[in-house]
Amino acid sequence: MKNNLVDLQYGMHNLLKSLMDQKGSDLHIANHSPPRVRINGKLFVLDTPPLSASQSRALCYSILNEKQHKEFEKNKELDFSFALKGVGRFRGNVYHQKKCVAGAFRAIPEEVPSAKELGLPVPIVNFSKLNKGLVLVCGATGSGKSTTLASLINEVNKNSRGTIITIEDPIEYVHSHKNSMVVQREVYRDTLSFSKALKSALRQDPDVIMVGEVRDLETIQLMLTAAETGHLVFATMHTNSAVSTLNRIVDSFPPEQQSQVRSQLAFTLSGIVNQVLTPSLKGGRVLVLEVMVPNVAIKNLIRENKLHMIYSAMQTGQDNSGMMTMNQSLFKLIQQKFITQNQAMRLSNVPTELMDMFQGKLGKFSA
């Protein structure tokens, strides 16, 4: 490689094409390391020499426009999305580490995957048929939240006649207008913040509102208000269970407001999905799911501040709702030979219960 210029062989176009050719999900760029790609959840080194600081910087800067360049220089990190002709669409994050520029780039499929392709069960697909309410899709970074949400929005788009407004940072999946009209707004490009866009959305005749990420108290307040006033609201949060999601929302408010917030949640909440993507023994990755569909008992527990009892209510109230716990999802995947028992134990939030299921102590869940 030349000292200050990245040779074409190692240019972003070819690196991202290599990512797509290998059906990878992410490309990582950093100095003192060869570029790395994530395939089925694991990082692999590309067969190139380690990058110097100037090469890492040049690669990351090669896909920024002038405005993004200035914003990155000012804020030291930047989220954005972009498309490369003949290669694909990507979400990027460039940042500084040890005074050098680095980046992570995620592939976004051109077409929104269908619920069937994702393996989403009927109770989750049914959220797209609601007329109003609040549906939260939760999980860690890389768990597929954005893809699940995009699939649900696509279902609404195909089957309903209304206005869908999405607020994203950045826009990932691009939705065409079908039976619905889809308005997609990107934070910092089309609006100044999630909260400002959400407040404005309430005046834009929406039927469905999608909030790409709930980050602050004002956004939570507006999200609850939108659902309370008869809109169908989808949003994502970085939590790992239905109970932790509810605790995160309630604890975001001052103590004197928490009783009112619990009442709002009991009235508006239509579902919480928590998900994890894990490598499958059959190739690729498989989705592990927790699905909560609030019944009368769960709504009362929310209202009465007995959130710690919701997990038990999820176990016993499944006959008509399609609810499932993460352990039940893990156990089913073991039975279907998608994952190993050790793998399931590492992923479980309640490993002692899962072990009881393995040992047949919870009869109705045994193989």
pTM: 0.86
Task: Yes or no: say if 27 and 9 are a contact pair by the CB < 8 Å rule.
Answer: no
- Given a cut of 80, whether residue 71 has pLDDT beyond it is yes
Tell me the pLDDT tens digit for each residue of 199-211: 999 999 999 999 9
Residue 16 half-sphere exposure, CB side, CA atoms within 13 Å? 25
pLDDT attached to residue 243: 97
pLDDT attached to residue 72: 95
pLDDT attached to residue 10: 54
Rounded Cα distance, 80 and 89, in Å: 11
- The DSSP-derived string for 233-270 is EEEEES-SSHHHHHHHHHHTS-GGGHHHHHHHHHHHEE
Average pLDDT, rounded, for the chain? 92
pLDDT attached to residue 2: 38
Task: Yes or no: say if 121 and 291 are a contact pair by the CB < 8 Å rule.
Answer: yes
Assign 3-state DSSP to the chain and report helix, strand, coil percentages, each to 5: 40, 25, 35
Q: From the CA atom positions of the chain, what is the Rg in Å?
A: 22
Rounded Cα distance, 314 and 355, in Å: 19
pLDDT, average across residues 29-35: 95
- The DSSP-derived string for 108-131 is E-SSPPPHHHHT--HHHHGGGG-S
- Given a cut of 70, whether residue 363 has pLDDT beyond it is no
pLDDT attached to residue 8: 40
Strands 285-292 and 269-279: antiparallel
Give the residue among 163, 230, 218 at the shortest CA–CA distance from 194: 218
- Band of pLDDT at residue 316, cut at 50, 70 and 90: confident
Task: Yes or no: say if 46 and 12 are a contact pair by the CB < 8 Å rule.
Answer: no
pLDDT attached to residue 322: 86
Task: Yes or no: say if 366 and 360 are a contact pair by the CB < 8 Å rule.
Answer: yes
- Band of pLDDT at residue 339, cut at 50, 70 and 90: very high
pLDDT attached to residue 360: 81
In the chain, the amino acid numbered 345 is M
Task: Yes or no: say if 316 and 354 are a contact pair by the CB < 8 Å rule.
Answer: no
- Given a cut of 70, whether residue 26 has pLDDT beyond it is yes
Token pair belonging to 5: 């210029």
Q: Helix 326-335 and helix 351-358: axis angle, to 10°?
A: 40
| Residue 186 vs residues 41, 71, 194, 300, 365: alpha-carbon distances, Å | 28, 15, 9, 37, 44
Rounded Cα distance, 239 and 242, in Å: 8
Contacts 24+ apart (CB under 8 A), 334-341: 335/367, 337/281, 337/282, 338/280, 338/281, 338/282, 338/286, 339/278, 339/279, 339/280, 339/281, 339/286, 340/281
In the chain, the amino acid numbered 172 is E
The residues near 280 (Cβ < 8 Å, ≥ 6 apart) are 40, 286, 338, 339
In the chain, the amino acid numbered 28 is H
Share of the chain above pLDDT 90, in %: 86
